[in-house]
Amino acid sequence: MRVKENIRLILADVDGTLLDSQKNVMPVTREEIGYLREQGILFGIASGRSPYAVRHLVHEWGIADATDLIMGFNGAAVLDCRTGEMTSVLAMDGRALTEMQENFRDFQFNLGIYDEETYHVLYQDERSEKTALLNRFSLVVDGLKGYETQQLPKALLTAEPEELDRITAHYEAMPAPVYYRMFRSAGDRSECVNPELTKSRGIAIMAEKLGLDKEEIMTFGDMMNDYEMIRDYVGVAMGNADERVKAVSRYTAPSNDEDGIGIFLREYIRKEPSDE
């Protein structure tokens, strides 16, 4: 693999990228992330998940000691694991919750928001229970009352995949919402954030603090919420990535179920062919 970049920071999306289908970090990936520190290269997470959840989950994934930064909520918050400092970026106006419910009143869906280590929803269902469990958070069923007047990192809209297809088509055909931007992150869920927010914007603010140029930052991702960070930095699309993400990536790695990040880093950083 012929490369020209001098990489100083590597950022990975979580679901469908860092984690395999069983929600684990595969062995080669875990080993190569650990090797980055020996080379003086920072490693971080760039996820739609809550940074409060990820800071606990990295211990379960076996990469806590090698994780320097956690960018959560699709760029809306950055946790520096070395200092404990949390920085917020481009929060979403809580009036978006009312706007969403009006926009999608003819569809069946649930809305949820993260408040530190709790997950608040319109109503309890299997998806909300799973989301809370996945993040190791408490589930709070409160109809999201009171959050319309607050600033929020993001909202999560969930529905049956077929219903979400219809919601997505409706969203794409209607005038742009005032208070939020929505993009699909899985078959049954979409992320709703500040209209100006992308993972790329969050990384740009992080890079300025760290004194890094774009060509010194490598990003791994698979879904459309990763699109801008794959396009704007040294982007690596996973083998299982959306074809639109692959189209703007500089490199392609094997899939998340093939130890993709680890195999790519072994060849890219160590410059050794993988035996896997």
pLDDT of residue 158: 98
Do the beta carbons of residue 13 and residue 253 sit within 8 Å? no
Could you tell me which of 53, 94, 92, 96 has the C-alpha nearest to residue 71?
Answer: 53
Alpha helices in the chain (DSSP H): 27-38, 51-60, 95-103, 126-135, 161-173, 199-210, 227-232, 243-248, 260-268
- CA 41, distance to chain mean position in Å, is 21
Q: Does residue 205 or residue 241 have the better pLDDT?
A: 241
Chain segment 165-214, per-residue pLDDT in tens: 999 999 999 999 999 999 988 889 999 999 999 999 999 989 999 999 99
Chain segment 91-119, per-residue pLDDT in tens: 999 999 999 999 999 999 999 999 989 99
- List, in order of start, the domains of the chain with CATH numbers: 9-89+197-268 (3.40.50.1000), 92-193 (3.30.1240.10)
Chain segment 41-92, per-residue pLDDT in tens: 999 999 989 999 999 999 999 999 999 999 999 999 999 999 999 988 899 9
